[in-house]
Chain A
C-alpha cells in the first residue's frame, strides 16, 4: 500500500512550495488516476515518489509497504519496486538502449537477490516484451531514445516498466502525444501488469486514457492539494466541465 500523508514539497533551490499537504492512500491491486490542470503539481508528485532531488520534502511522509521511502535514493526506490514512467523521457546520446536495459535489469535483479540474466535470456526477454509493445528491433539498436518520436519514447518507458516488474507504477501523462492505436498498445501493456500485488498511479490530463485503463479511484489535484476524490465517473464529469472550477479555463 502507498500512503502519502500531509506531503509538503518545495523546490530545493528556492523556497517555492509546490505540494501543499497531499493525503492519498493507494492499496495494492488498485489503479488510481490523478487528474488536474497544468501546473497543479502532478509531475512534482511523480518525481517526489521517484526521489528526484530537485525537490525537498518539508513535511509529511510517503510510505510504501509500510516503509518510509522519503530518505531513499532513486535507485534504492527502484529496487523497492517504485517505477516512474516519465512525462518527458530523455534522450541519452552514447548510451546504447540494450546496454542500458541490461544494466538496469541486472542491477535491480542483483539488489533484489535474484540472479542476473545471461545474455541470451536477456535478449529473449527484451525481444518478447518489445514485440508486445510493437517496438521494432532497430529502435533497440539505437542510443537511448535518441531521435525517437514522442510516442516511441513512451513505449520505451512501458518496455522498461514491464522488464523491471515494479510493484508501484507511476505513469506521468503516458498518454500525451500518443495516437489512438499507440494509446491502446500502451494501455494493454499497463493492464497486463495489473495484479493484486501491484499498485498503479496513472497521471493524466485527459479522460481518454481512462477508457482503456479503468481506475478504481480518481483524485483531482489543484494548487498542490487533492481537492476531490471520486470513482471513475469523476473523470467523465471533468471531461464535461473542464478544470474551470479548479482554476483553469476549459479547453
Chain B
C-alpha cells in the first residue's frame, strides 16, 4: 500500500480497538507479530465491498456501520439457560466445550470426559504455552489467498477460542460427538462483539464428529467473527457440523479453513437460520492424494436476512473428490447466496468435483444468487455444477391438498422435504434429527 486509504467509521473502530488491546497485551513475541501483521493487512485491504469479486454480493463496507465493543467477561451462564439456548441441539448426546463470547467456560464444559482422548487448551493458553502443534497450525492450515479481511481481523484480535488435538493412536474413534457451543452476547443492554479462533487437529486414522453450535444470549445485536482451522491427518475422518441460530440482528462472519491429509475424509454440514447478515466461508485444501471433502448445508432465511455461503476448494494434488450440496429456503425479502470456487491445479489429475445449490423462493421479494466457478488446469478431471431456483411445486401442493392436507400444512411438508434432502446428508443420526426438528420449528414459526 502506498497511499493511506480513507478509513470508514467501522475500520477506524477496529483500529482503535486494536491499539487498546495492544497496550494491554503481554503475549509472546511471535503471537504479537502475528496480530500486528494481520492488523496491517486488514488496514491495507479494509472491509470488503462489492467490487471485491469474492464479496460482490455481501458488501461489508456498506453493511457494517459501527464496531461494537468486546463482550468482555460474560455473566455466568447457567446450565438451564444454556439448555434453552440450545433447543433441540441440547438433546444430542455430545461432549460439550462451551465458549461464552470466545472464553472457554470450564464449569459448563465436559473437559474431564475428553481428557483421555484429546488435548484441549483455551486459546490464550495455547498461544502462551505455544506447543509445537499449536505453533505449527495457527494461521497456517489453509489461509485464504488473496488475504481475506475478516480472517485478518480475527487474527489481529487473536485471544479466545479453543484448541483441540486428538491424541489417540490410529485407528481410533471418538465415541461421542464433541459440541463446541459458541454463546454470543449477554444480558447487558449494549451490543457486543466476539472474535473466536478454534484449532482442530484430528490425528492420523482418527474418526471424529465436531459440532459447532452458534447461539445467542440476550436480544442485543452482536458481531461475531469465528474462525476454525482444521487439520486432518492421513486417513482421518471428520464430520464437521455447524448450527447457526443467532438472533435476527446479529452479524455472523465465519470461516472454516481446512487441510486434508492423504485419504482423509471431511464431511461438513452447515445449517443456518440465524443472523441478520451471515457470511459462512469454507476453505478446503487437499494436501494428500485420495482424500474427499463433502460440504453440504441448509439455509432457511426470512425477513431481511442475508445469508452468504462462500466456498473455495483447492485440488492441489491428484485423485481427490469434492462435493458441495446446498439447499436454501428463502422467504420475505431474504437473500441467499452460494458461491463455490473449485481450483484444480495442473498436476491434480483424476480430480472429481461436483457442486449443486438449490433454492426455494417463498416470496416474490426473496432472492437467490449462485456463483459456481471452476478453474481447471489439469486435463483428466470430472467437474460439474448445477443450480436451480423455484417455488413450491403447485402440482405437489394440489396432490397433497386433494388428500385432505390443508394448504399451510401441505406447504410446510413440501418445504421440509426440500431441506430434508440436504439434512439427510448429515451422518450423525442425533444431529440429523435435531436439524429436522429445527427446520420444522422454523416453518411453524411462519410470520413470527
Binding site for B on A (CB under 8 A): 50-53, 73-75, 77-79, 83-84, 86, 89-90, 92-95, 99-100, 103-105, 107-108, 111, 143, 160, 164
Contact = CB atoms under 8 A, between A and B. Distances in A.
Contacts of A74: 398, 401-402
Interface of B: 395-396, 398-407, 409-410, 413-414, 416-418, 420-421
A36 B64 CA distance: 67
The 7 closest A-B pairs by CB, nearest first: A94-B417, A78-B404, A108-B404, A74-B401, A104-B403, A75-B401, A95-B417
A84 B414 contact: no
User: Chain B at the A interface: mostly helix, strand, loop or mixed?
Assistant: helix
Contacts of A94: 416-418, 420-421
A94 B416 CA distance: 8
Contacts, number: 72
B409 A107 contact: yes
Contacts of A95: 413-414, 417
B421 A86 contact: no
A50 B417 contact: no
Contact of B417 (A92, A104, A108): A92
A90 B401 contact: no
A100 B403 CA distance: 9
B409 A103 contact: yes
B406 A86 contact: no
B403 A92 contact: no
Contacts of B413: 95, 99-100, 103
8 contacts: A50-B398, A75-B401, A84-B402, A86-B399, A94-B416, A100-B400, A107-B406, A107-B409
Nearest to B327: A94
A92 B402 CA distance: 14
A104 B396 contact: no
A93 B405 contact: no
Which of A53, A74, A78, A160 is the most central at the interface, judged by chain B CB atoms within 10 Å of its CB? A74
Contacts of A100: 400, 403, 413
Contacts of B405: 75, 103-104, 107
A92 B404 contact: no
A229 B395 CA distance: 32
A99 B406 CA distance: 15
B403 A78 contact: yes
Given A92-B400, A92-B417, A94-B417, 7 more contacts: A51-B401, A74-B401, A75-B410, A78-B402, A100-B403, A103-B405, A107-B405
